[in-house]
Amino acid sequence: MSTNGMESWAVDLKDVGAIYPFQGSEVVMVIIGLVFWIGWHVLQTRQENAEIEADMAADRTGDETRRAIDRH
């Protein structure tokens, strides 16, 4: 099975173009990569916002902050 379209390496290299795998699917791979990248940032932002909100909710009274200041 060949992913780059070459069946034999016993050829004249001047007649060979690109030899990387999955030739012709670069645009699809770039689109998939962009969707993954943007999706990852959206998920990461949501998780960080939820974590910050949980931390803020846990210390609404400020008691934890006062105890931390008093310790030092």
8-63: pLDDT as tens digits: 888 888 888 888 888 889 999 999 999 999 999 999 999 999 999 988 888 888 88
Q: 67 to each of 25, 56, 71, how far by Cα in Å?
A: 59, 16, 6
**pTM of this prediction?**
0.58
